[in-house]
Amino acid sequence: MTPSPDRSQLLDRFHTIVNGPALFNALVAGAELGLFEHLSRHPQAEFKQLCETTGVPAHQLRVLLFALCSTGLVRREGEGYVNSDVAEELLAPQGEDSWRDILVGWQRVYYPAFARMTEALKAGTNTALDDYPGTEPTFYQRLAHSPDVESVFHAAMTAFTLRSLPGLLDHLDLSQTRHLLDVGGGDGTTSKRLAEKYPGCRFTVFDTPSVAELADRAMPTSLGERVALCPGDLFTDPFPQDVDRVLFSHCLEVFSPEQIGFLMGKAFDALPPGGQIHLYGFTATDDEQTGMYGARLSLYLNVLATGSGMSYPAADYEQQLAQAGFTGVHSVTGLPYEHTLTTGVKPGE
């Protein structure tokens, strides 16, 4: 049983949540203006200097700094401002795994859709998709019509994938693996990191044609020989047949239990006896009462992405793997960002 927070903790949480959208956007503005980066290079920077670097008029910068100081992520010290340790660690650094890219993606894609939450939940489908051009039933498919949104979305996904990857890298041993199929592998970030760690293994990234193009552009030529791209639709196109592992990383949670059962069956058929399936991603606790990352993702999936799916408990996946015919099913739980790695083996070797 998850212990319930006491009244003062709950009140605290309430006040943070209801002011959260404004403060979240203030963080994104601070990140986009390079404020955290500047404070990292110039701790104790004074107000006038911050006006010059950000180009924000004095009154508006005063308001932004008030908001950032109210979060505690930035502090005023004497005449200057400093990053807190958390801002220094998470908001100042730039790079492929930057929180800035994650937050910009949430701001442009997730949070506008959440304004339609009541309507979408009542309708039982992803009505926020109406805000995007195209006629396809999922956000992933419609992204092909909006290349700008697609690149913001994938930059956010890449950054978050990199942040959650250590859980997979630490617990997946591919030293005896010849060829891994990375289903719904996105821009290839996961396969790229696995390929660097396991030089004896080949990888095939299966994703939609427009995402495969992104992956092609992101793949360094040094890995091009060992990381192949397979553009297609998970539900209508065949999986390559010469693989000995199938990985679904951040993939199955976007689908309904029926679709997950179908994809597990498809992976079972593609594997030889002794081949293994690995599921890596967000999972809920068994009682589904905690997990802010999983809750946010589940809402996004239902309001915008696919109209189904969620951060399922690991026990759901384990049961479905057994139903699909896999044996030796087991999970490593408690990985970073509410992640679990679940593995099963195709019997008969």
Ligand X SMILES: C[S@@+](CC[C@H](N)C(=O)[O-])C[C@H]1O[C@@H](n2cnc3c(N)ncnc32)[C@H](O)[C@@H]1O
Residues found near ligand X in the complex (CB under 6 A): 138, 140, 157, 161, 184-186, 189-190, 207-208, 211, 233-235, 249-251, 254
Residue among 47 and 293 whose Cβ is closer to ligand X? 293
Residue among 190 and 308 whose Cβ is closer to ligand X? 190
**Least Å from the CB of residue 201 to ligand X:** 17
Which residues face 246 on adjacent strands?
A: 181, 277
**Least Å from the CB of residue 188 to ligand X:** 8
**Distance in angstroms (rounded) separating the CA atoms of residues 243 and 81:** 54
**Least Å from the CB of residue 231 to ligand X:** 8
Residue among 138 and 311 whose Cβ is closer to ligand X? 138
What is the CB-side half-sphere exposure of residue 198 using CA atoms within 13 A? 22
Residue among 139 and 198 whose Cβ is closer to ligand X? 139
Closest CA relative to residue 165, chosen from 96, 101, 263: 96
What is the CA 245 to chain-centroid distance, rounded? Answer: 22
**Least Å from the CB of residue 15 to ligand X:** 32
Residue among 54 and 164 whose Cβ is closer to ligand X? 164
